[in-house]
Amino acid sequence: MTLKTSLTELLDIKYPIIQAPMAFVSGGALASAVSNAGGLGLIGGGYGDRKWLEQELNRSHNADIGCGFITWSLAR
């Protein structure tokens, strides 16, 4: 059973569940598990640490995920 809402239609997901992108806590494995279960998994991009992000994107195994950043920090 899926839940059809404006959010699920907009994001093309089965369930209106979005995992919070918690910096350095929610990585690729968790994000891909949430997305594969029908929600939207997000990697916690935090301050934009390139090495960590590449590692976690690899751990997502090409699942449809997103990434949250602390935008004011990206300007640095």
Continuous segment of H or E residues that includes residue 74: helix 71-74
* Predicted pLDDT of residue 57: 95
* Predicted pLDDT of residue 10: 96
Average of per-residue pLDDT across 3-7? 94
* Predicted pLDDT of residue 25: 86
* Predicted pLDDT of residue 63: 95
Residues 20-44: pLDDT tens digits?
999 888 899 999 999 999 999 999 9
14: left (phi over 0), alpha (psi -120 to 50) or beta: alpha
